[in-house]
Each structure stands twice: as C-alpha cells, then as structure tokens.
Amino acid sequence: MSDEHGGRPLDGNGPPASLPEPPETEDRTDAKGFSRRAFLKGAGVTVSAGVIVTEGLLEGASATPPAAVAGPGPTPIALKINGSAHRLEVEPRVTLLDALRDHLDITGAKKVCDRGTCGACTVLLDGKAVYSCSVLAIDAQNYAITTIEGLAAEGELSPVSAAFVEHDAQQCGFCTPGFVMAVTAFLKRHPNPTYEEVTGGLGGNLCRCGTYMGVREAALDAAKRLSAGRA
C-alpha cells in the first residue's frame, strides 16, 4: 500500500516523492508549461517565470518545449499558493519548502528531515500530497499549491484540523500540519476509509511524541465530518 505522498511506497525505500502527474480527469484550468513526464523524458529544461504557457500550448506538451535556461543565480519564478499569485526570485536549487518558509513567510509546512522521509513539510500540488522539501520551487510553478494555511481562514479550522483538536492528535505539534495535509489528501481519495486503510495510507508521515492513536481517530472522524458536510 502506498501512502499519500506522490506514490512513495510505505517501506520508505522507493524513489523520492515526485510531482504529481497532471490529473487525467480533473479540469485543469491552470496553465501548465509542460508535464513532469515530458521533463523526465529528457526535455531537461525548466520554465522561467513569466513564461505562462497558454492552454493551446498545453495541448502540444509532448513536443519539446522551448529551452529556457535558469540559474545558477536567483531566478524569477511565480507560484500560485492558496489561490494567490506570488512572484519571487530564488536560486533554482531552492526547494518549495524553503521558498514557502524563507521567502514567503508561509511557515505551516515544517522543515524536519529535509529528505522526503518524515512528511512534516507536506503540501498539496493540484490536490495531491507531496513532500515540499523534495520539490524544487522552480518546478512547482503552474501547479495550484495548497499549504495548511489555505485549508481555512485564520481563526477557523478545516474539518480535518478540527478533528485533530478534538482527538488530541498532537502534542508538540511539529508534525501536525504535515499530518493534517496528508489526511486531507488521503480523504479525497478514500472518503470512507477503514481503520486499516488509515493506518497504511498515512505511513508517509512520522511523529516523535507518539500521537498516532489520536491521528487515526482524527482521520476516521474527519471522514465523517466531511461526508456530513457533503450530504
């Protein structure tokens, strides 16, 4: 069973979290320069900021995109985070996590292992959970990025966050935002999970204080809260 992070296997020995493939069924209104798959096929270039590719170009994504060399110095990029557009200049080696935390003061995603193991930095790209420490900021352009701050307005709680409070699924709280994001993504794909599915599906996040009992209960309860909200 794989966890919620980019298809990364539960045993932790698999490849690092990858960017999600463009969804096959969802309506993608965000312009996308090229697919991750095209990149991996050897296009070997990145899209610099300001090159907002139109829907028309998206259809031709299998063709080699125009070369746009970036770096090594600070490069302008554009990120769409929690529905807002942000323009910033970062070196191409800067991770999405560091861009969020150090450049945009969006600090809900935490830096813990910084190597795609613990899940404390989990954010959603186009609704799918990824380890933001293992995604370059420059590669996260043109995805809709959701951080925990985007789940609910300040002073309000998303159903998942509320379930974490109710079931005391947090102690020091440093893993909690990552867990909340992983549960949020997990429940989209498993709206009525079993206890066993929760246990397997949330294996990509680690807690040190030992809040797993609460996390399991919170995930199951959040599923109920969300389905009640849909009804």
Q: DSSP assignment of 107-139, as one string?
A: -SS--SSSSSSS-TTEEEETTEEEEGGGSBGGG
Neighbours of 173 (CB within 10 A): 14
Are the C-beta atoms of residues 124 and 184 closer than 8 Å to each other?
A: yes
Nearer to another protein, 101 or 128 (CB): 101
Nearer to another protein, 33 or 112 (CB): 112
As a whole number of angstroms, the distance between CA 142 and CA 134 comes to 17
Nearer to another protein, 79 or 118 (CB): 118
Applying CB under 8 A, the residues found at the interface with another protein are 10, 12, 91, 93-94, 98, 101-102, 105, 107-115, 117-118, 120, 147-149, 151-152, 154, 156-158, 161-162, 164-166, 168-177, 180, 198-200, 202-203, 205-216
Beta strands in 11-152 (DSSP E): 75-81, 84-90, 122-125, 128-131, 144-146
Q: How far is the CB of 105 from another protein (least distance, A)?
A: 5
Nearer to another protein, 134 or 142 (CB): 134
Q: How far is the CB of 119 from another protein (least distance, A)?
A: 9
Which residue has tokens 């994504």? 61
Q: How far is the CB of 23 from another protein (least distance, A)?
A: 25
